[in-house]
Structure 1
Amino acid sequence: MSLALAHAAAAPAQSTQVFILPAGTTTLPYAAAGDLSAAARQYVDAALADDQKLVHLNHFSHHHYFVVLADKPTTVQIAEQLRRAGHTLHAQFKAEKVAEVFIENHSETANAALLLAEGLALTAYQFEGYKTDEKSRKAPALKEVYLVGNAASAAQIHELDGLLQGVILARDLVNAPLNKLNAVQFAERMAQAGDKAGYTTDILDLAKIEALRMGGLLAVNLGSPEPPTFSILEYKPANAKNVKPYVLVGKGVVFDTGGLSLKPTPNSMDLMKCDMAGGAAVAGTLFALAKNQVPLHVIGLVPATDNRPGGLAYAPGDVITMHSGLTVEVKNTDAEGRLLLADALSFAKRYEPQLVIDLATLTGAAVRALGTEASASMGTAEPATMQKLSEAGYTVHERLVEFPLWDEYADHIKSDIADLSNLGKGEAGHISAAKFLERFAIGYPWIHLDIAGPAYLTVPESYRGKGGTGVGVRLLYEFLTKQLG
């Protein structure tokens, strides 16, 4: 963790404190005034009367910050304002070289301090990277965040900490370049995380993948000098509430050149270390669930390889036989992610799952449709399940927009010589990709999440930062834990 989160009974004298105040506050409440001088209270009251949402008092030895909740119509909007307030505060703490801060909640929003701390911690994330200059690697000043009194219980703080560790794991994996994270290293990193958190990992090597006849994964790997992996992550606590497991499937293309259908560069191939963000989200979610000992049986499947044009690389026009037995005509080797996912979705059937959710940076079409503000969702799960996942997305501000999987879209992936084509038409590319996956998600309810837009940001955006965002971890954690009732 970049920040240590903890509980405190009270804030020490002359400590940096953050006071969360109710919406519409125009006069400082007595409980939040503390030992402020009359002049200081007058200054804060004037700022509050002027409708300022963030007021800063610099006492030189320490600081006081007053955050006023926005008057928003929904709780999810208030929650997002608090996370973003955490981002804003982090910049001020950095400027003032604040090392520790104590948060008190004086608002009617019970979890306000947790949400503010969440925004702080996500903003504080830094990818350690590979810089050798000690000056450029200087650690940030802010180290500890304390939630005071009834702002949050120790159990709530522990749970948030575990969840954020899962997000940070996903971000670290996405931000690592190919020469530091090939398919084998990716699998090993996920296994190491499992050892730390409490889930098991079974890494299938090339021989086992060949024995399972995973033609999609094997085809994509043909151009690579490095072998593929297929990782099975399993968290099965003794007190699991579900009889049938939830299965999460994540695309693990550790780098995508586009294969022989080469991507253009710059501005396309340059960012493709992030093409395993779906797999990273699966690992991060399993980590958070296991770390917090959530009583659910959850399995993660992550097929991994890079996609290169070398050696015996698969070519447009090739026909491959998938794990399910279906044949696929390859129209474009840059439509590779769906081939890996298809094998994993077919493999998932053996678990007789309650629900399968896959995550993938799958199509540019999803980015064009939604930008970086949301992920596309589609699937065969019941509308009530789709709605619950959407609600979880709004709760954590990892929003989903559902697209249809009408029968007519099956025409987009017809082939003259095989069961399917791996490429659809020029329009509705994110839908035809999901329609392709649907043919392999047989025998269980299934949801597909195309996270291509929000998975990796090229410019900083509030607490999501720059680079890998870890999208999917908070979403799936919120959704799955709500299944406990």
Structure 2
Amino acid sequence: MIPKISQTTEFKENISRAILFDDFSQVTIPQLSDAEKAHIHKKLEKETECVINHFPNLFFFGKIKKAKEAYMETEAARKAGSKLYDALKASDVKTVQLENFSKPELMPAFLEGLLLTTYSFEKYKKEKEQFCIEQIFINDKTTSDKIISEITKLSKAVFAARDLVNEPLSFLTATQFSEEIEKLSKESGFNLEVFNKQKIEALKMGGILAVNKGSIDPPTFNILEWKPENATNKQPIVLVGKGIVFDTGGLSLKPTPNSMDYMKCDMAGGAVIATTVYAAALNELPLHIVGLVPATDNRPDGNAYVPGDIITMFDGTTVEIKNTDAEGRLILADALSYAKKYKPQLVIDYATLTGAAVMVAGAHAAVAMGNTQENMQSLKESGFETYERIIEVPLWEEYAKPLKSTIADLNNLGAREAQSTIAGKFLEHFTDYNWIHIDSADTPFFKEKSDYLPAGGTGYGTRLLYNFLKKLIVSK
């Protein structure tokens, strides 16, 4: 639940205070004794946060150290927001006033870190978390109501992405995924069209149909569109997300420990795309955006597709199946081909695509590649600004050679080495427009909490793409 947030220009004496600063001498707090001030000074020589309890309230001090890069200071403010939440929860304090004696741009990050830490997924728990922040006052002239509203709505979108990733297949089938996206569309105002299996068959989307052959549940193909009257782009931005609601690997079965047991998160790319469009609609971004989310599970039923099969994709390309666990690129390829009908300004696909990307980036970044350097540079800048960072790798032609097949146009696996780039080269075959591919590596799902990123679904990518989209708005 998002707390109630409001601006204030008055110092409120009887509630808890959380203060960001560069230099403690800037801060005046009459309630503190000389001994308490000395304690704060001493503690902040080695640490960046300090908490003083004045029952029933507390004082939180967050020191922002000067960094070589401005984005590191912004991230420090987010982490301070997360530490503040932990302190409030430990003392059961539900109302707090935020103050900033540091750089003006750090207050929004402080608020964002605090809000993102309030998330919990308790749908299936008998005992629910009792603590929640009820009221946040912001005493900062540079943080407008518009900024507060945008951060609140974007946090809400991140929470929606986390919820989707956390849902098990026992609930979130491809059909249910579409129903959850429909709820987001009704709330925020974007349009949604869902192709059922019969429509997908009629369109001959061979990649989606092949992956779905082993499932008892039908696939869906979701088309999300946000097209406000004041859109500044003549050609739409198309966002494509992998929606594998569970991945067993198919007949190329995954091992269970630290592999298949986390594969409910294989639709994280689809969740990121759906919630990015949702955030854009909630905040009324003046951009024409289309989201494409193909969805199915990948299972080893008796009728499942097998290594050696040849399938025909939506654009007519034939693909020899070498491994049924290389399924994400098959459903994305159909969506990337379908995207051509929009004559897009830019297409970005987002997916939990390869374990090789994990070897490159771990849980600290996503791996990206593409054919549009200007957009890639802007995306990387957004990665730093949101701390949802991007590592770019090249798409050299040599990486396409392993994808050649003697009996079809392509094979779906290639070689073991450089697999994240080879997967990108496979997808590139289905594009003829400005395009970026993002392989999310280990970012969508954490085993343990890390500051404002919870255990479970992280929502990593929604803030990144939203920030990037804002950069594409053209002033009229």
Partner of 2:9: 9
Counterpart of 1:387 (choices 362, 366, 377) is 377
Task: Give the SS at the match of 1:272.
Answer: helix
Task: Give the SS at the match of 1:145.
Answer: strand
The alpha-carbon deviation at position 465 of structure 1 amounts to: 1.5
The alpha-carbon deviation at position 43 of structure 1 amounts to: 3.3
> 1:4 is aligned with what amino acid?
K
Counterpart of 2:430 (choices 440, 449, 453) is 440
Alignment partners' CA distance in 2, 1:120 and 1:178: 30
Alignment partners' CA distance in 1, 2:400 and 2:82: 44
Partner of 2:83: 88
Partner of 1:457: 446
1:357 to 2:357 alignment:
no
Partner of 1:298: 289
- Equivalent residues of 2:18, 2:84 under 8 A apart: no
The alpha-carbon deviation at position 186 of structure 1 amounts to: 0.1
1:111 to 2:105 alignment:
yes
CA offset digits 1:55-108 (Å, max 9, x no partner): 22211121111211112111100011111111122111111111011101111x
Alignment partners' CA distance in 1, 2:337 and 2:37: 66
CA offset digits 1:211-260 (Å, max 9, x no partner): 11100000000000010000000000010000000000000000000001
- Equivalent residues of 1:356, 1:447 under 8 A apart: yes
Shift in alpha-carbon separation, 1:65–1:334, aligned structure 2, 3 A: same
- Equivalent residues of 1:222, 1:311 under 8 A apart: no
Partner of 2:146: 155
1:241 to 2:236 alignment:
no
Task: Give the SS at the match of 2:455.
Answer: strand
The alpha-carbon deviation at position 332 of structure 1 amounts to: 0.4
Partner of 2:406: 416
Alignment partners' CA distance in 2, 1:460 and 1:48: 25
Alignment partners' CA distance in 1, 2:261 and 2:250: 14
Partner of 1:64: 59
Partner of 2:21: 21
Alignment partners' CA distance in 2, 1:219 and 1:49: 59
> 1:57 is aligned with what amino acid?
I
Instruction: Give unpaired runs (5+ residues) of structure 2.
Output: none
1:405 to 2:409 alignment:
no
Alignment partners' CA distance in 2, 1:234 and 1:40: 59
- Equivalent residues of 2:2, 2:156 under 8 A apart: no
CA offset digits 1:290-345 (Å, max 9, x no partner): 00011001000000000001141101000000001000000000000000000000
Task: Give the SS at the match of 2:141.
Answer: helix
Alignment partners' CA distance in 2, 1:77 and 1:147: 22
- Equivalent residues of 2:16, 2:59 under 8 A apart: yes
Alignment partners' CA distance in 2, 1:211 and 1:49: 65
TM-score (norm 1): 0.95
Task: Give the SS at the match of 1:260.
Answer: coil
> 1:467 is aligned with what amino acid?
G
Task: Give the SS at the match of 1:234.
Answer: strand
Shift in alpha-carbon separation, 1:466–1:152, aligned structure 2, 3 A: same
- Equivalent residues of 2:249, 2:325 under 8 A apart: yes
- Equivalent residues of 2:364, 2:443 under 8 A apart: yes
> 1:329 is aligned with what amino acid?
E
- Equivalent residues of 2:118, 2:132 under 8 A apart: no
The alpha-carbon deviation at position 389 of structure 1 amounts to: 0.6
CA offset digits 1:402-437 (Å, max 9, x no partner): 111111111111111000000010100001100000
Task: Give the SS at the match of 2:463.
Answer: helix
Task: Give the SS at the match of 2:303.
Answer: coil
The alpha-carbon deviation at position 357 of structure 1 amounts to: 0.1
- Equivalent residues of 1:47, 1:55 under 8 A apart: no
Task: Give the SS at the match of 1:340.
Answer: helix
Alignment partners' CA distance in 1, 2:308 and 2:398: 24
TM-score (norm 2): 0.97
Alignment partners' CA distance in 2, 1:409 and 1:430: 10
Alignment partners' CA distance in 2, 1:365 and 1:52: 36
Shift in alpha-carbon separation, 1:141–1:40, aligned structure 2, 3 A: farther
- Equivalent residues of 2:44, 2:63 under 8 A apart: no
Counterpart of 2:416 (choices 404, 409, 426) is 426
Task: Give the SS at the match of 1:179.
Answer: coil
Shift in alpha-carbon separation, 1:45–1:339, aligned structure 2, 3 A: closer
**Within 5 Å, which residues of 2 pair with 1:463-482?**
463-482=452-471
- Equivalent residues of 1:103, 1:151 under 8 A apart: no
> 1:106 is aligned with what amino acid?
F
Alignment partners' CA distance in 1, 2:37 and 2:162: 44
1:39 to 2:34 alignment:
yes
Alignment partners' CA distance in 1, 2:345 and 2:441: 26
Shift in alpha-carbon separation, 1:333–1:46, aligned structure 2, 3 A: closer
Moved more, 64-73 or 179-188: 64-73
Moved more, 152-161 or 457-466: 457-466
Give identity over the alignment, percent.
Answer: 47
Instruction: Give unpaired runs (5+ residues) of structure 1.
Output: none
Task: Give the SS at the match of 2:52.
Answer: strand
Alignment partners' CA distance in 1, 2:340 and 2:143: 41
> 2:220 is aligned with what amino acid?
T
The alpha-carbon deviation at position 139 of structure 1 amounts to: 2.8
Alignment partners' CA distance in 1, 2:411 and 2:259: 24
Partner of 1:140: 131
Alignment partners' CA distance in 1, 2:431 and 2:284: 29
Partner of 1:396: 386
- Equivalent residues of 1:104, 1:151 under 8 A apart: no
Task: Give the SS at the match of 1:449.
Answer: strand
- Equivalent residues of 2:242, 2:269 under 8 A apart: yes
- Equivalent residues of 1:376, 1:449 under 8 A apart: yes
Alignment partners' CA distance in 2, 1:5 and 1:346: 44
- Equivalent residues of 2:361, 2:441 under 8 A apart: no
Alignment partners' CA distance in 2, 1:295 and 1:325: 35
CA offset digits 1:151-180 (Å, max 9, x no partner): 511110000011111111111000000011
